[in-house]
Amino acid sequence: MEPQNQGTYRFPLRLSPGESTEFRVTYKAQGAPRWVYSANGQILSGFRLSVLANFPNANYASGIVPTETKAEGQGTRFTWVFAENVSVQNPFGVFTTIHPIGTTGILPRLLLLAPGIFLWWILLLYLTVPLRWQEGAIAGAIFFACLLSLTYASRWMDAKLAWGCLLWVLLLFGWGLGTQHQSRWQVVVVTLSGAVLPIGGCLVASTGLTFGIAGLISVASLMGQYFQLKLGQPE
C-alpha cells in the first residue's frame, strides 16, 4: 500500500449498508528500537496481532501483557488476541532491551581517572624540578599519546602487556627531563609513582593498593628532596 498522506493508509473498498468484510494486514519494521500498535481508544473485536522480534533481549511495550509469548529461532514471538469487544487505550507492541551494565571494565575507569592522574603527575614534576610550560606541554602530549595507544592496543592484546611496553616512553621522558635539570633519579621516581603506577593500578584488581603504594613513593620522594635541600642550605 502506498500512503496518500504521511502515515495514513486507505483501502480502495466500498461497502453497501449491512455488508461486512475482514482485513488481514501484515507489517514489517526494520531498524527501529520500538514498534507499537495504537487502536486510538477504539473497540477491538476479533483482533489478533502477532509480532516476531528476531533479535535477542526483546520485551513487550506498555503494560498490555501478550496473550502468548514464545521463543522462535533466535528471537521471540509476541501475540495479542482479542476475541470479544475490548477497548484498548494504550499502544502495545515490542521494543529492544539490553541487560544492565554490571561493570564498566578497566579502560573506561582508566579514562575517567586519566585527567586526575595527569594533574597529579604534573604537580609532582613541578615540585621536583623547575618545570617550564614547554616541558609541561610535552609531558601532556606524551601522557595522552601513551593512553590513546593503550586504548587501541588493548583491542588485540592484553592491556597489562600493552602498558608494560608503553610505560618505558614515560620513563625515558622522565630520565631526559631529569638529566636536563640535574635531578635524573628524582624525576624518574615521581614519573613512576605519579603516572606509571597509577595507570597500571587501573589495569589490575588491586587498584587501591597500587594507588596507596604510588602515593607513599611520591610523598617519600618529595620529603627526601625537601630534607636534602634543607641540609644543603648554610646555617
Do 79 and 136 reside in the same domain of the chain? no
Q: What is the pLDDT of residue 13?
A: 76
| Cα–Cα dist 93/87, whole Å | 16
Do 16 and 124 reside in the same domain of the chain? no
| Cα–Cα dist 161/225, whole Å | 33
Q: What is the pLDDT along the chain (235 residues), one digit of tens a residue?
A: 566 666 666 667 788 888 888 777 776 766 677 778 888 878 888 888 888 888 777 888 777 888 999 888 888 899 999 888 888 777 888 877 655 544 445 577 778 888 999 999 999 888 888 888 888 899 999 999 998 898 888 878 888 888 889 999 999 998 888 888 778 888 889 899 989 999 988 888 777 888 888 889 888 888 877 776 666 555 4
Q: What is the pLDDT of residue 26?
A: 74
Do 115 and 206 reside in the same domain of the chain? yes
- Helix (H), strand (E) at residue 115: helix 106-128
Q: What's the Cα-to-Cα distance from 114 to each of 94, 98, 107, 201, 223, rounded to whole Å?
A: 40, 28, 10, 12, 25
Q: What is the pLDDT of residue 233?
A: 54
Q: What is the pLDDT of residue 42?
A: 81
Domain that holds residue 168: 106-232
Q: What is the pLDDT of residue 169?
A: 92
Q: What is the pLDDT of residue 104?
A: 46
End-to-end alpha-carbon separation of the chain, Å?
A: 98
3 state SS for 35-52: EEECCCCCEECCEEEEEE
Do 114 and 221 reside in the same domain of the chain? yes
| Cα–Cα dist 129/135, whole Å | 11
Do 65 and 134 reside in the same domain of the chain? no
Do 226 and 121 reside in the same domain of the chain? yes
Do 141 and 227 reside in the same domain of the chain? yes
Do 192 and 130 reside in the same domain of the chain? yes
Domain boundary among 47, 76, 99: 99
Domain boundary among 99, 133, 153: 99
Do 110 and 88 reside in the same domain of the chain? no
| Cα–Cα dist 106/116, whole Å | 16
Look at the block and give the residue holding cell 621536583. 128
- Reported pTM: 0.52
Q: What is the pLDDT of residue 103?
A: 47
Q: How many domains does the chain have?
A: 2
